[in-house]
């Protein structure tokens, strides 16, 4: 017997969401998969406050059956509009990221959009490809002084 379909929806991010987002990025398996070191609370709040104050950025909270499951964002990086998302590990493997990104892309029609995903995160690469993104190359990156990692670049056109 299959699991019942999940109801995924997006809404604006609020400061009340930050505690859940903070816990998501502190999950060891999740941050290793994403290729980012977790931030402490002060650095986390500084990061989100800076991003939320930029009027060109778009932020949406992802709800699954009314529960806060993660976020989808769009921001400028190296002159391109990039999309990113973070879904809590308890929601992995259930189609939540694909559903949330699909909703976000319908709401945010600007193209082209880009995404960078650490090469070992095959699940996230699959999500982006299901949503129409195509691989365009690779880049090396480092966050917060961490080790240099290889990023797969993807692009979504009209």
Confidence band of 104 (pLDDT split at 50, 70, 90): very high
Give the pLDDT mean for 53-66: 97
Q: Tell me whether residue 157 is exposed, middle or buried, using C-beta atoms within 10 angstroms of its C-beta: 0 to 12, 13 to 18, 19 or more.
A: exposed
pLDDT of residue 46: 96
pLDDT of residue 146: 52
Quick one: residue 93, left, alpha or beta (phi over 0 = left, psi -120 to 50 = alpha)? left
CATH architecture of structural domain 8-111? 3-Layer(aba) Sandwich (3.40)
pLDDT of residue 142: 47
Does 147 sit behind a cis peptide bond, omega within 30 degrees of 0 on the bond before it?
no
pLDDT of residue 36: 78
Q: Evaluate whether 119 touches 151 at the Cβ level (below 8 Å).
A: yes
In the chain, where the domains are located: 8-111
């Amino acid at each position: 017997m299959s699991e019942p379909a999940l109801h995924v929806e997006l809404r604006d991010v609020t400061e009340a969401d930050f505690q859940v987002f903070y816990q998501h990025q502190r999950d060891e398996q999740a941050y290793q998969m994403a290729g980012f070191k977790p931030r402490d609370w002060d650095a986390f709040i500084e990061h989100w406050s800076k991003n939320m104050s930029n009027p060109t950025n778009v932020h949406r909270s992802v709800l699954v059956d009314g529960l806060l499951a993660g976020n989808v964002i769009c921001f400028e990086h190296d002159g391109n509009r990039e999309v990113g998302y973070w879904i809590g590990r308890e929601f992995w493997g259930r189609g939540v990221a694909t559903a949330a990104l699909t909703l976000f892309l319908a709401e945010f029609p600007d193209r082209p959009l880009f995404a960078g995903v650490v090469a070992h995160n095959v699940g996230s690469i699959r999500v982006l490809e299901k949503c129409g993104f195509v691989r365009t190359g690779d880049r090396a990156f480092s966050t917060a002084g961490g080790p240099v990692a290889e990023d797969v670049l993807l692009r979504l056109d009209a």
